[in-house]
Each structure stands twice: as structure tokens, then as C-alpha cells.
Chain A
Amino acid sequence: MDIKAYIDSGILELFVAGQLSENENKDVQDMMLKHPEVLQEVLDIESAIVKLSSTMSPSDNTHLLLQRIKEKLQFGASDVKVIPINKPRYNWLTYTGWAAALIVGAGLLWTLNQNQQLESQVSEMDTENLYLEQQIEQAKTDLVIKENLLKVLRDRNIISVPLDGQGNFTDSYAKVYWNKADNSIYLDAQGLPEAPEGKVWQIWSLTLNPLSPTSLGTIDNFNDDANKIFNIANANESQAFGITLEPTGGSKTPTMEQLHTLGVVSQP
């Protein structure tokens, strides 16, 4: 290869300018290694450019600049080169940040917990409220029933018939309040014991001459009723009322041995 022609082609100037591809760069490198005159040429070109551009430097403080660059690169701290990079990552701001995050997190958890407690309290209160409302409702209903009873008992048309204990059952008693106007009686059976298993109380309307009983029905819910006052229809011309204990379902005629109470309607 003609080295002089190679040099004269101008490729070395472009090489220094950085205008060549990587492959072309490698070729020039090879030539430089093989031919000292090519190397010298490259050095001269580079030197001319370095000198020319140096005259364009507007100041001579590039040494001061070097100090700043060395500081930024943390020169002189070669034994602990890794630490300066890591150090700033864990400054006081980082710790404060984490601490703040932890506090906020803990605060959130506490608030969440408080909220849950309050919610369950509210739910308890709701249940209690509902219960109390039901109680009030119950009381109101009871009151209405009792007022109603009182109204009935005070009615001037009411005929009061006391029923006394009979035979072995002298401790028993009952009272019938008979409203002839609406053909119904109110039986106050508080003086009767609870009906035993398999038995029910049966109410009878009686005429005395001749003695003939008419069933007014059985009181199936006797044991469950709280005030033991029962409203029973009665369209008969009753002269007396009696109560017997009968097998469940009632009987057609009263079982006289089980006649607990009996009362005669006093004629006005």
C-alpha cells in the first residue's frame, strides 16, 4: 500500500475529527500500529487541533475547574469509594421521611380500629333501640287492652257474676262479666290453677230449671295467657255459669266431679 497516498487521502484528518465509522476507525488504528509515519501524522493533526481549540478557551482557570470536578467525583476518598454514593441516600431526610410514614401509618391503623369500635357500638345501640321500641310497643298494646278491659268492666250494662269454688276446689274462683247488649262475656279466670297436661278448662252456660248446660267453649290458651281474662261469645239466656276441667278438645256435657267453680246470675 502506498502510505503517502493513504496519508494524502485526508482520511486521517477525518479520523481525528471523529467522522469515521467504527470499522474505518479500526483500519486506521491498524495502519497506525503498522506504519510509524501514519501514527506521526495522526499525532500532528491532533496536536494542531488541540492547540487551535486551546486558543479558543476564554480563560486560564481550567485548573480551578479541575478542583471542582475532583470534589464532585469525590477524589481522594478512594478507600471508601462506595460509601459516598450510598451515604446521601440515608440522610436525616430519609429517616425523618420513614419516621413520618410510620407515624402516619400507625395513626391510620388506630383510626381504623377506633372506627370499627364505634361502628360496633352503634350497631349495639341500634339493637338496644329496637328492643326498647318493641318494649314500648308492647306496653302500648298492653295498655290499650287494659284500658279496653277497664272500659268493659265499668260499663253500666255489665252483669257481674262471681263464680265460687265447688266441692274439693274451694280455693278456686272466677268472675264473669256479662254484657247482654253485645252477647259476650269476659271471664276473669285468675283464680283457677293451670290446666294439667291433656286437660282444658271448659265454660258452661246453665239454665237452672230444668238444669241444662250449654258449652261456651274451651280455653285452649289458658296457660299462655298473662292476664287470664278471656272474651267469649254468649247468646244464651244464662242463669248460671260453670267451669269444669275436661279432656283436651272439651266434652259434650260437663263432668260434674270436675266442676271447679259455679256462680248464679243474680236476677235484677
Chain B
Amino acid sequence: MQLETLISQFQKKDEKAFEQLYNMYSDSIHGVIYNIVRDHKIAEEVMQDVFIKAWHKADTYNTSKGRFFTWILNIARNAAIDKTRSKSYKNSNKNLNAEFFVDILESTDNLNDKIDAIGIQKYVKALGEKCKKIIEYLYFKGYTQKETSEELDIPLGTIKTRNRNCIKDLRAMILE
């Protein structure tokens, strides 16, 4: 399995492996961070922090922590959320409560041309409102199922299957 080899090389401080993993996930992680901090410069700062931290803490990753992507996603969410709690960030008076990842997709000037963003944007718009929010909370904000159920007023027991269906829709839109 190629990914596993890459990860174990990365854990042995292989610089090439680090670069490959960075190229695989940097856009995604950048998107997640930007979605939280909503500032280009701050997002870049957090990006650096996240990948430097990942390099130094590489040996703490193992499969009991889940997917490698999930591991680094977790570092990124935490770093970005920490940033929004910092004094300097609060002074910038950003109102984050009303913002969702969909907003980013809908403002066209944010779209980069590396990926088929415009196509994805078109599909994501078609996602149900609850789906957009479930994905936002569970994947991009790191809420627990309980927090998500309270936030969206959906019974806790149904979060798992609702999410499953939403991801199914998403996959149908962007992977085919």
C-alpha cells in the first residue's frame, strides 16, 4: 500500500515523503483552515504551523488515530480554532458565526483553478441545507456528534445515518 509506505517514510523524517504528503493534502487543509479563520494571511500562518507541527510530531501518528488525513485535519482544525481565540485575532472583529464553507464556494473570487471548483460549486449548491451544515460541523469544524445534533436540532441517533446520506450525495456529485 503506497500511502502507508509514504507515511512510514515521513515518520522517518524523509523530506521527499513530507513533500508528497503536503502536495496531497495542502489544498484541502488550506481550505479547512481558511474556512475557520477567514483571512488569507492568517490562514497561511496557520498552514505553516500545522505542517511544521506535523513534521515534528510525525512519530506520534499511528493507525489508532485514524486516517493520516484525519490526523492532520485534526491538527489543522485545532490550530485554526486556537488562532480564532487569540487576542490579536479577536481584535480584528471577525464575525464567524454566520459563515459556512458554502459561502466560500459561492464567492467566485475565491475559486482557484487547480481543481474543478466551479463544477463542484454547482453541485454543492444542490446539497440540502442540513447536509451542508452537517458536513461543515463534523468535518470542517470538528464538532462532536452531540454538538452537531444540538446545533442542528437533529436527534443524536440519526446524525450517523444523515451524515452517511449527505456524504453519499456529495460523492455522487464530485467523484463521478
User: Could you tell me which A residues sit within 8 Å of B by CB distance?
Assistant: 8-11, 13-20, 22, 25-26, 28-29, 42, 44-60, 62, 65-66, 68-70, 72-73, 75-76, 78
Contacts and interface: CB of A to CB of B under 8 A. Distances in A.
A42 to B, nearest CB: 7
B161 interface: yes
Interface of B: 15, 18-19, 22-32, 34-35, 40, 43-44, 47-48, 51-52, 55, 63-67, 69-71, 73-74, 101, 104-105, 110-115, 117, 120-121, 124, 135, 138-140, 142, 144-145, 160-161, 163-164, 167, 170-171, 174-175
Contacts, number: 171
B111 A55 contact: yes
A137 B60 CA distance: 90
A46 B174 CA distance: 12
Given A14-B160, A45-B171, A48-B167, A66 B69 contact: no
Contact of B174 (A10, A19, A26, A52): A52
15 contacts: A10-B160, A18-B142, A19-B145, A20-B66, A26-B63, A54-B27, A55-B104, A55-B111, A56-B105, A58-B40, A58-B43, A59-B30, A66-B23, A69-B47, A75-B18
A62 to B, nearest CB: 4
B22 A16 contact: no
A58 B110 contact: yes
Instruction: Please indicate which of the listed interface residues A10, A16, A66 has the most CB atoms of chain B within 10 Å of its own CB.
Output: A10
Nearest to B103: A56
B161 A10 contact: yes
Contact of A25 (B65, B69, B171): B65
Contacts of B113: 60
Nearest to A11: B160
A180 to B, nearest CB: 109
Nearest to B142: A18
B115 A54 contact: yes
A13 B48 contact: no
Given A9-B161, A18-B74, A53-B27, 5 more contacts: A15-B67, A18-B70, A22-B65, A48-B174, A58-B104
Contact of A26 (B18, B44, B64): B64
A29 B68 CA distance: 12
A8 B164 contact: yes
Contact of B70 (A10, A11, A16, A44): A16
A60 B144 CA distance: 31
Contacts of B174: 48, 51-52
A9 B28 CA distance: 26
Nearest to B115: A54
A22 B117 CA distance: 34
Contact of B67 (A8, A16, A26): A16
Contacts of A25: 63-66
B38 to A, nearest CB: 9
A69 B43 CA distance: 14
Given A53-B28, A58-B104, A19 B40 contact: no
Nearest to A50: B28
Contact of A75 (B15, B28, B32, B34): B15
B126 to A, nearest CB: 13
B175 A65 contact: no
Given A19-B145, A73-B52, A57 B167 contact: no
Given A13-B163, A19-B145, A65-B47, A56 B66 contact: no
B171 A53 contact: no
A94 B74 CA distance: 38
Nearest to B64: A22
Contact of A10 (B18, B29, B40, B164): B164
A30 to B, nearest CB: 10
Contacts of B47: 62, 65, 69
A198 B79 CA distance: 110
